[in-house]
Amino acid sequence: MELTVNLGKNSYPILIKNGILSHAGEWIAKVFTGKKIMIISDDHVFPIYGNTLLATLSDYECHSLVLPHGETIKSFQTLPSIYAALLDAKISRSDLVIALGGGVIGDLVGFAAASYLRGVRFIQIPTTLLAQVDSSVGGKVAVDLPQGKNLVGAFYHPKMVLIDPDVLDTLPAHFISDGMGEVIKYGCIKDAALFETLMSCSSFEELKPQLASVILRCVDIKRVVVEADPYDTGERMLLNFGHTLAHTIEQHYHYERESHGEAVAIGMYQICRIAEAKGLTASGCAASIKKALDIYGLPHTCGLPIETLKNAMTLDKKNLNGNLNVILLHEIGKSYIYPTEIQFFKEAGGI
């Protein structure tokens, strides 16, 4: 299955195919005619998939950098070691960087690729469900700051995205659930039929035979939104449903407790609950989201008083002219941007 993200000179293909990792070199040759490649991965992913990728890249001079795993490496502190590895390998603008891993590797390596030499080409090979349905597409690359999530970054598009659903076989169950948080998001914001499909299963195992088509559906929704608003000035903000609260929860716990998908799960349910109480969302939506979260092993609450999150919320990237923009649902499958103020959360209590 092949899609193209149409962004003029920044257009790129997304390939979704079981087993494509073993043929990555053939696909990469279609968009890269240079000689040298740097593969950057983490210490969970590279030991499992590094050799498979390297074996398909035997026509190139390949280098690799293996970073520790986990959200806390998505920080400024990691960048010097990436730049040093790129310099040691004498990676130039005629060369290529490959991000092999989950969303942490994709966002971090993407930002390094955007900034090193003011930009070297990079390709995303996402290995988590979350990265396959969301983070590898759209060109948002970033690092976290102690003050907030993804606060320093760029819009920098990959030259290609290679999605091999087979690699999810080794992904721990916790991170399958995590990815399902973003999948549920796509149903909530744009596709009631997708949401129904998710609700019709009683567990991830039951959904698994349809996984490739679910991945395709999410990526295609994201493609259309990104094409319409690549720089996140309007329509693209809808992809941030649940994220106003999610990012503050992640920041509150120093990126060490709730993982991104879990935080998004809590954020989606809670914003719906708050909006329903104000008559801004059709009643019953929060309950439906909670049911979907239960099916896929995701939380809907984290026990934090909203007061503790308000400060971080003022740093949200959707804030314009000092006001908040929150993403709400009219109903499942229909989302909208709601301009408001921090008072919106006044009577939210604990989330």
Q: Would you tell me which residues interact with ligand LNCXM5UN (CB under 6 A)?
A: 134, 138, 140, 149-150, 182, 232, 236, 239-240, 243, 317
Q: Is 138 left (phi over 0), alpha (psi -120 to 50) or beta?
A: left
Q: If we measure between CA atoms, which residue out of 181, 186, 153, 151 comes closest to residue 316?
A: 151
Spatial separation of the C-alpha atoms in residues 303 and 280, rounded to whole Å: 24
Which partner from the list ligand NAD, ligand LNCXM5UN, none does 236 bind, CB cut-off 5 to 8 Å by kind?
A: ligand LNCXM5UN
Residue 141 corresponds to which amino acid? V
128 is in an annotated binding site: yes
103 is in an annotated binding site: yes
Which partner from the list ligand LNCXM5UN, ligand NAD, none does 167 bind, CB cut-off 5 to 8 Å by kind?
A: ligand NAD
Q: If we measure between CA atoms, which residue out of 242, 240, 295, 284 comes closest to residue 265?
A: 242
Which partner from the list ligand NAD, ligand LNCXM5UN, none does 177 bind, CB cut-off 5 to 8 Å by kind?
A: none
Residue closer to ligand LNCXM5UN, measured from CB, 164 or 250: 250
- Give me the count of residues in the chain: 351
CA atoms lying within 13 Å on the CB side of residue 301: 12
106 is in an annotated binding site: yes
Q: Which residue has the tokens 């001079």?
A: 61
260 is in an annotated binding site: yes
CB of 309 to ligand LNCXM5UN, least distance (A): 15
Which partner from the list ligand LNCXM5UN, ligand NAD, none does 112 bind, CB cut-off 5 to 8 Å by kind?
A: none
Among the residues of the chain, which ranges form H helices? 24-31, 45-56, 79-88, 103-115, 129-130, 173-190, 192-199, 204-207, 211-228, 243-252, 260-277, 285-295, 310-313
Which partner from the list ligand LNCXM5UN, ligand NAD, none does 69 bind, CB cut-off 5 to 8 Å by kind?
A: ligand NAD
CB of 94 to ligand NAD, least distance (A): 26
Binding-site residues for Zn(2+): 182, 243, 260
Binding-site residues for NAD(+): 103-107, 127-128, 140, 149
